[in-house]
C-alpha cells in the first residue's frame, strides 16, 4: 500500500526536526521508514518534501527536490 501524502510529510518533518536547523538528511531515509520496497516511493517523497517547504540542496546549493537529478539532501529552512 502506498503511503498517503500526510504519512510521508509526517516522516519527513520528524526526520528534519530530529536533525535540527542546519542539518540535513537523505530523502531515502524517509522512504525506508515507510516501506521495505522504498525505491518506488522516492518521487513521491521528493514531491511531498517540496510541498512541506523543506529545503533541498545538492552539493550545498538550493535545488528543486522534484526536478533535481541525482542525490539531494533535505533539511529545515533556516
Cβ burial of 30 (10 Å; 0-12, 13-18, 19+) is: buried
DSSP collapsed to 3 states, 23-38: CEECHHHHHHHHCCCC
State how far the Cα of 71 lies from the Cα of 77, in Å rounded to an integer.
Answer: 19
Put simply, whether the predicted model's pTM sits higher than 0.85 gets the answer: yes
pLDDT band at 53 (very low <50, low <70, confident <90, very high): confident
Supply the pLDDT for residue 68: 97
The domain ranges of the chain are 5-75
**CATH number of the structural domain 5-75:** 1.10.10.10
pLDDT for residue 78 is more than 90: no
Amino acid at each position: 500500500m502506498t503511503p498517503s501524502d500526510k504519512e510521508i510529510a509526517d516522516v519527513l518533518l520528524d526526520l528534519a526536526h530530529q536533525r535540527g536547523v542546519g542539518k540535513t538528511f537523505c530523502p531515502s531515509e524517509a522512504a525506508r521508514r515507510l516501506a521495505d520496497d522504498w525505491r518506488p516511493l522516492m518521487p513521491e517523497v521528493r514531491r511531498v518534501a517540496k510541498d512541506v517547504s523543506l529545503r533541498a540542496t545538492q552539493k550545498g546549493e538550493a535545488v528543486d527536490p522534484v526536478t533535481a537529478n541525482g542525490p539531494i539532501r533535505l533539511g529545515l529552512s533556516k
